[in-house]
Amino acid sequence: MKKARIISNRSFEIGKVKDTMFSSFTEHLGRSIYTGIYEPGHPLADENGFRTDVMDLVRELGVPVIRYPGGNFVSCYDWHDGIGPKDQRPKRMDYAWSSIETNQFGIDDFCQWAEKVGVEPMIAVNLGTGSIKDAGDLVEYCNFPGGTYWSDLRIKNGHKEPYHVRYWCLGNEMEGSWQAGHLSAEDYTKKALEAAKIMKWVDPTIKLIACGSSYEMLPTYMEWDRTMLSQLWDQVDYLSTHNYTMNSGQGTENYLASYKQLDEHIRNSQRVIEYVKAKNHFSKDIKICLDEWNVWNFQDIKLDSLDDLAGLTTFEMTSADKWEIAPPILQEKYSLLDATVCGGLGITLLNHADVIDIACLAQLINVIAPITTKLGGGILKQAIYYPFYMLSKYGRGTAMQTVIDAPAVHTMYGDLPVIEPAVIYDTDHDEIHLFALNADTEDDVQLQIELQDFGTRKITGHYTLSGPSQDSVNTFEHPDLVKMTESVVTEPDQVILPKSSWNVIVLK
């Protein structure tokens, strides 16, 4: 059996993990909203048509912020279509996902759902086909107390108190050719700057998220961020970026090690921020908002790899015809291996707590999601539900620096330690939470844990993401094939990490 050692010292911190690190995302895409969040007539729907079983699982996950309404969808979305009496709301063609949007669920519905669940909305404005005035009007509708046209219309539509939406995204992936109203970096900067001015005139307290580079294969990668931040720095608070991990035949060890690609992606965003700040002598800090991240294997999109995004103008589906209402698309079925990789990505997020303030798992329900619902029926925790839940439960606190002494695993990202850890000091409960990915596909690893200046500690819990095989998938017929299992703890300072596994160790 291989052996490894991890060392962490109380004096060396990475940074405080913000609660917003465990946020998520829901879009008008497939069944994410309709028959996901909203399904009038379902046996468990409340008076608003919101599925209470979905709300219960979202609360269980402890999600603090949810991004809405897109995504690609937002770049051709008119928010006015989704307010007022439902029988007067128009049906529209959604160009982003070749679907029909009924507009039976809109901004009021989402904000009221968020209130019930206990989460904060993060609202994206349309900077593709939308106008800067539309963006300002939406802030007024959501946040202004009353006495103006749009705020009074909100009151007329049934919500006297403003929603006090704090987080606002200035568009979505506007560097992508697949985006409706796709812009160059220079043109996006001009439009976003003017939208930001109006939005902050309406409500100076809001936090703005600028649309940054999302995909390395695009020719504008990083240069987009440099151009945009140089002009928008004083208006915005966060730089958005997106990152998806795909199992595209690179081999299991490379797939398990793909947390390293996310690590480099985050570092690149950080490098651009630092460069622009130094170059222009800016004083304030800007943090990263990774408002889309997940494992996404494109199981029903004709896409062989993420490199195919370059020059793409439309997404072609294999699981639904065009122009359906709430088609069952992007309903990824996640395996134990996918969930293990997802947990590894979560470790990377924790280890960048000094630069990432917000991270949104994309998405939350039915579409590349930890939660799957059945039309008119039950609800399922997908395999990736469990690492996200454990990250949310045990990942809050202060991220600590670590030193790892372990054998190497040979990957496409270079030689990496076979164990990738993250250490969180939960000061509220005076506990140490160690997350550990064993990327070795052949051997278990005996991990020795050395904590310095934390006082006397011993292992009180060891949880491992487990299932019958790496290909195991949770289904409605067999919902518990993949889950977290607790191991018997026999030593105060060491554990056995199974091969190809994701683990959480609690020390008190």
Per DSSP, the residues of 304-344 read SSGGGGTT---PPBSSS-TTEES---S----BHHHHHHHHH
Per DSSP, the residues of 428-461 read TTTEEEEEEEE--SS--EEEEEEEESS-S--EEE
Catalytic annotation present for 39 = no
- Over residues 107-150, the pLDDT tens digits come to 999 999 999 999 999 999 999 999 999 999 999 999 999 999 99
* Mean pLDDT within 468-488: 97
Contact 447, 407 (CB under 8 A): no
pLDDT for 298 equals 86
**How would residue 85 be classed by pLDDT, with cut points 50, 70 and 90?**
very high
Contact 455, 447 (CB under 8 A): no
**N- to C-terminal Cα distance for the chain?**
27
CA distance 179 to 128: 7
pLDDT for 311 equals 66
How does strand 207-211 pair with strand 120-125? Answer: unpaired
**Helix, strand, coil fractions of the chain, as percent rounded to 5:** 30, 30, 45
CA distance 497 to 456: 23
pLDDT for 304 equals 67
pLDDT for 421 equals 98
Catalytic residue among 292, 332, 420, 431: 292
Inform me whether the pLDDT recorded for 20 exceeds 90.
Answer: yes
Inform me whether the pLDDT recorded for 310 exceeds 90.
Answer: no
pLDDT for 320 equals 84
**How would residue 317 be classed by pLDDT, with cut points 50, 70 and 90?**
confident
Inform me whether the pLDDT recorded for 103 exceeds 70.
Answer: yes
* Mean pLDDT within 483-500: 95
Inform me whether the pLDDT recorded for 303 exceeds 80.
Answer: no
pLDDT for 325 equals 96
- Over residues 360-377, the pLDDT tens digits come to 999 999 999 999 999 999
- Over residues 377-421, the pLDDT tens digits come to 999 999 999 999 999 999 999 999 999 999 999 999 999 999 999
- Over residues 216-275, the pLDDT tens digits come to 989 999 999 999 999 999 999 999 999 999 998 899 999 999 999 999 999 999 999 999
**Which domains does the chain show, CATH number per domain?**
2-9+400-507 (2.60.40.1180), 18-394 (3.20.20.80)
Catalytic annotation present for 173 = yes
Inform me whether the pLDDT recorded for 437 exceeds 70.
Answer: yes
pLDDT for 418 equals 97
Inform me whether the pLDDT recorded for 77 exceeds 80.
Answer: yes
Catalytic residue among 27, 173, 175, 420: 173
Per DSSP, the residues of 97-118 read TTEEE--SS-HHHHHHHHHHHT
Mean model confidence pLDDT for the chain: 96
Inform me whether the pLDDT recorded for 426 exceeds 70.
Answer: yes
**How would residue 318 be classed by pLDDT, with cut points 50, 70 and 90?**
confident
* Mean pLDDT within 464-474: 97
Locate tokens 């596994």: which residue?
501
Residues 6+ apart with CB under 8 A from 473: 333, 334, 335, 336, 383, 481, 482
**How would residue 312 be classed by pLDDT, with cut points 50, 70 and 90?**
low
Higher pLDDT, 249 or 434: 434
pLDDT for 316 equals 73
Residue type, 362: A
Inform me whether the pLDDT recorded for 26 exceeds 70.
Answer: yes
Express as a percent the part of the chain with pLDDT over 70: 98
C-alpha distances (whole Å) from 411 to each of 354, 414, 415, 418 are 27, 5, 6, 10
Inform me whether the pLDDT recorded for 87 exceeds 80.
Answer: yes
